[in-house]
Amino acid sequence: MPSRKGIVLFDTKGSSNGLANALKKTRQDIVMEIRESGLRGRGGAGFPTGTKWMLAAAAIADRKYVVCNADEGEPGTFKDRVLLDEYTDLVFEGMVIAGYAIGATHGILYLRGEYRYMLAKLEDALRRMRSENRLGERILGSDFSFDITIRLGSGAYVCGEETALIESLEGHRGEARNRPPFPVNTGYLGCPTIVNNVETFANVSVIMAQGVEWYKQYGTDKSRGTKLVSVSGDCERPGVYEIPFGTTVKELLKLVGGENAKAVQIGGASGICVPRADFHRSIAFEDVATGGSVIVFGEHRDMLHVLKNFMEFFVEESCGQCTPCRLGNPVLLDGVEKIGRGECSMNYLQELFDLGASMQIASKCGLGQSSPNPFISILTHFQDEIFSQR
């Protein structure tokens, strides 16, 4: 295993006593401790994990499900791959703990289709855990039984959105559902279901192993713990880093050798572009949030070209269900091309900003709600540079 520097996750070297500790507690205590820890979902939205689990635990049903979202489709994100590959037990044990806490007996790992190469290794890990009685019947001598199966995605970005993911698991076309009802009440096969990110489950194992007070010393008041970030682009040391929440963009750039960047896209295609003047901003849910993608842009990058890439991605990946996203993304992409040809007036640019703002409000799911983000942030910060080059 390559040596990785970190505090909460990477220092565990991949194993913890989290599961054994958790099974000595009551289900209610676990939910309360996860709430108390301040853990927020690492998939991007930052929803409080304890609250999600509390709602699912309170739902009355014969069957409940725990789903681990390993779709990792956001451009520039590759940190879940590292966790699944090198810290597998932390992730699976986190799912078992979640199952115990909400009263589920079955977990599903929804694995990105492009990660099929990891399937055999992950299945081996599940077999090993069963043979060690950390999975299966009466886990570690308790009266709790839980098992995990792995299902593969097929490469659609929208299937990372939790309700589209559930549709996909049920064998349907991957399209976001209307909410409410929320998955915690009506999820996979109509049963209460929690969907959490790979990194969220890994954090759960560590919280159960090290305790809530230990965990809370890292990060900020509103964003406890650490964040794994996948850094790519114009820097000397791209890779996966574990940083405490509250780390500034400037500090991160120093760590990765990207001090000369003129901008950083934080949160992937659906995130925001942070220009040099804002490098004092911090990576945290209350400031610049990210599911993990950090893309560094050097001085020589044409930001309109960067934006065009992102908008082409959204046009390709929109599921087409709702009008703001289906029609809005092609209009924004067309606007980018108009700018490139020097055919976009300031009035029309303002109309495009207004369209983006409408899409953020009116789109049915997070894809269309966030796809205008790069358009708005890149053109806000680099308008002069982009227009002067045309």
Q: Which residues contact ligand SF4 (rule: CB under 6 A)? A: 158, 176, 318-322, 325-326, 363-365, 367-368
Q: How does DSSP classify residue 197?
A: E
Nearer to ligand FMN, 181 or 298 (CB): 181
Would you count residue 366 as binding ligand FMN (CB under 6 A)?
Answer: yes
- Identify what 242 binds: ligand FMN, ligand SF4, none; CB under 5 to 8 Å per kind: none
* Contacting residue, 10, 18, 72, 273, with ligand FMN by CB under 6 A: 72
Would you count residue 167 as binding ligand FMN (CB under 6 A)?
Answer: no
CA–CA distance, 172 with 85 (Å, rounded to integer): 28
Q: What angle do CA 82, 85, 86 make, to 5 degrees?
A: 80
CA–CA distance, 111 with 92 (Å, rounded to integer): 13
Would you count residue 45 as binding ligand FMN (CB under 6 A)?
Answer: yes
Q: In terms of Cα–Cα distance, which of 22, 86, 123 is closest to 228? A: 86
With the CA atoms of 23, 188, 124 and 118 taken in that order, what torsion angle do they form, in degrees rounded to the nearest 10?
-130
Would you count residue 289 as binding ligand FMN (CB under 6 A)?
Answer: no
- Identify what 43 binds: ligand SF4, ligand FMN, none; CB under 5 to 8 Å per kind: ligand FMN
Q: How does DSSP classify residue 6?
A: -
Report the nearest approach of ligand FMN to the CB of residue 327 (Å): 18
- Identify what 157 binds: ligand SF4, ligand FMN, none; CB under 5 to 8 Å per kind: ligand FMN
Can you list the alpha helix ranges (DSSP code H) found in 194-299? 198-210, 212-216, 249-256
Nearer to ligand FMN, 197 or 377 (CB): 197
In contact, 184 and 52? CB cutoff 8 Å: yes
Report the nearest approach of ligand SF4 to the CB of residue 374 (Å): 15
Give CA 58 to chain center in angstroms.
Answer: 25
CA–CA distance, 155 with 160 (Å, rounded to integer): 9
- Identify what 322 binds: ligand FMN, ligand SF4, none; CB under 5 to 8 Å per kind: ligand SF4
- Identify what 368 binds: ligand SF4, ligand FMN, none; CB under 5 to 8 Å per kind: ligand SF4
